[in-house]
Structure 1
Amino acid sequence: MWQNAISILCFLLYAVSAIPTAPTPSASAGIDTHSFSKTTEYPLPNLGNVAAHDPNIIQYDGYFYLFKGGVHIPIHKSRTLDGPWEEVGTVLDEASVIDKQNRTRPWAPTTVEWENRFYCFYAISESGSRDSAIGVASSDSPEGGNWTDHGAVVNTGKGDLSDVYPYTVSNAIDGAFIKDQKTGEPRLLYGSYWHGIFSVPLAEHLLSIKTPKKPDATNLAYVPTAKTKPIEGSFMTYKAPYYYLWFSHGKCCQFNVHNFPPMGDEYSIRVGRSKNVTGPFVDKDGRETLQGGGTIVYGSNHGVVYAPGGVGVLSGTGSEADVLYFHYLNTSIGFAQGDARLGWNYLHYVDGWPKAIEGYVHANGSDAQNFRN
């Protein structure tokens, strides 16, 4: 009996500590807190309890593996999404072989398992520049120590084939991956600002574009009427009968704490859907993502969660729910890129549209049927 009481007390203490808290008056002194949305339309995140910007998570052999932007692409693993996370090496042993700026600190990795091997797509770039590249490394294990860096798959600005459309109008960062359910063909998604998000078929070995000099490219999302075109960080999932195009919209980082952008202009997580892998994708109101459309699934909330983005989705199987994961800034912690935290929520689908739901359940989905609409 005492053991049960102690267990319940420990769980309650954990639950309280796992709730993000609003900034105290002293912590928020001089900060433009009027720009923080206090909406309760979106639930507070379940905490990943790890610092991460542009997180990417895969499941393998009973573990979650977390890849994130940073020196040589750090890798962590955990039995559960709330940690504890153990660092198990890096994807790269040294600077990327791609001869561009920031070679030691790749951005926005996306790792996939394909034909019994792991492939990590990563971005080399710098803020405000279109001289970018998406590289790829491969390994027979998701842990560090055995990855081979194969170099650039796509170049924009400068580099091999950067003079070929759509590389002439796009920015080669934020790579993502999807398999065409009809043909089995692998596809690379990428893009940030400029002309938005594109999709191109990959070669079967994933190390290059299928037809490098004449890529069969499709523009998936774009904001044609805006002076700046703040969409990036795409991710795609399939849940029959729809493909879901996820992306981040708005300002991601480098915030001036005394003058935040107008509320709603910071990062939010948006989605469109289509029955075809190449679209067209539309939002809940029927607006195409190529015309600036995108339904907001998760945004700043409770005065605590700010600028959520860097989105990914873990697809559930059987009775397991899909998991939406992302980075966000906790207004009680800070607003530098290194302050970004991992958060996650289960997804419920209403008429085929995903909705982030409240609550903590075990990551194996055992209690995922207890949705709150």
Structure 2
Amino acid sequence: MVKLSALFGAVALLPALVSAYALPEACSGTCTNSHDPSIIRRSDGTYFRFSTGGKIAIHTAPSLTGPWTYKGALLPSGSSINLAGNKDLWAPDVAQIGSAFYVYYSVSTFGVQNSAIGVARSTSMDVGTWTDLGSTGVTSSTGMAYNAIDGNLVNDNGNYFLTFGSFWNGLQRVRVTPTQKNGDVYQVAFDSSDPAMEGPYVFKYGSYYFLFFSKGQCCGYDQSKPASGKEYRIMACRSTSAVGPFVDKAGKSCRSGGGTLVLPSHDWVYGPGGQGVYQDPTYGPVLYYHYVDTRIGYADGQKKFGWNKINFSSGWPVV
């Protein structure tokens, strides 16, 4: 006969067996309208969230948990970059350099390489204070070895780099001034057997630089869901240098298909990605991202803002 204590012990373990990944932390206010989020905290304690759509939507909150309030568009008239998609801006990345704030954004259309990474500047981040500086010079066109979208600024002791890319030949890096291209483009990650990788984000923790990226199908889940495990998921490689080379937990090069899984679909969370990492003064390092809540719906417009604390004690990010 099975002892009741053993039975209850087994039952108590069931939730852990359902998923090894934590559910998103609390979010209140406007937690949708959050595709490809990028967050930062101003010195007065106000959090800003920038996201794809609405000419880069700006939301603010008094805490990472919210309540998030929509404030308006980063560039209400769109970008000055003369490319298709300059009224529908993607993938913002916010960074503070000195007393100014910069948002890098993408101008493109889905499935093509006619793309450019632009940048806007403000001293406060408030709506109405952003000046469009136009193209960074990081551009691409049909037939090139990369696609110039999803830029992320890396500040390596005053040396600035943009890590960027999507699908075409993986993820790339280039030195910038930080508002203009200032060097040659080189590859930092690629998977020839599964080239659907994008949204790079580099975060330094301890002695390592971690290259986070999204892999898999990002969008249109309400129209066509990919095979299980091929939807968006968050991966990582690391290096002791800001410029690489990056390897995964098994030592496999990120340029040869390497990548350690950080956050896949689990429980009612589906297709997490478009991520960034932030060193929060209250919660420590946090991973933030968008995801589909399967209890609500799979449409792109229903994607929610998610975040979790990250534990680096093993040398690798664990949500």
TM-score (norm 2): 0.89
2:41 to 59, 62, 74: 59
1:350 to 309, 313, 318: 313
AA partner of residue 94 (structure 2): T
- After TM superposition, list the pairs within 5 Å mapping 1:144-293 onto structure 2: 144-153=127-136, 154-157=138-141, 168-181=144-157, 184-203=158-177, 206-210=178-182, 215-224=183-192, 226=193, 229-256=195-222, 260-293=225-258
Q: Structure 1 unaligned runs (5+)? A: 1-37, 357-373
1:327 to 285, 290, 311: 290
User: How well do the aligned residues superpose, as a CA RMSD in angstroms?
Assistant: 1.7
AA partner of residue 316 (structure 2): W
How far is the alpha carbon of 1:271 from its aligned partner? 0.5
- Between the two proteins, the alignment pairs up a number of residues equal to 298
Distance 1:76 1:338 in 2: 16
User: Structure 1 residues 39, 129: closer, same or farther in 2, change over 3 A?
Assistant: farther
Query: Do the aligned partners of 1:42 and 1:298 also contact (CA within 8 Å) in 2?
Result: yes
AA partner of residue 347 (structure 1): I
How far is the alpha carbon of 1:284 from its aligned partner? 0.8
- The residue that corresponds to 1:45 in the other structure is 24
Query: Do the aligned partners of 1:173 and 1:190 also contact (CA within 8 Å) in 2?
Result: yes
AA partner of residue 239 (structure 1): Y
AA partner of residue 42 (structure 1): Y
How far is the alpha carbon of 1:87 from its aligned partner? 2.2
Query: Do the aligned partners of 2:222 and 2:299 also contact (CA within 8 Å) in 1?
Result: no
Q: Going by fraction, where is strand more abundant, 1 or 2?
A: 2
How far is the alpha carbon of 1:39 from its aligned partner? 4.7
Higher RCO (C-alpha 8 Å, min separation 6) = 1
TM-score (norm 1): 0.77
- After TM superposition, list the pairs within 5 Å mapping 1:135-146 onto structure 2: 135-146=118-129
User: Structure 1 residues 263, 336: closer, same or farther in 2, change over 3 A?
Assistant: same
SS in structure 1 at match of 2:255? helix
AA partner of residue 43 (structure 1): A
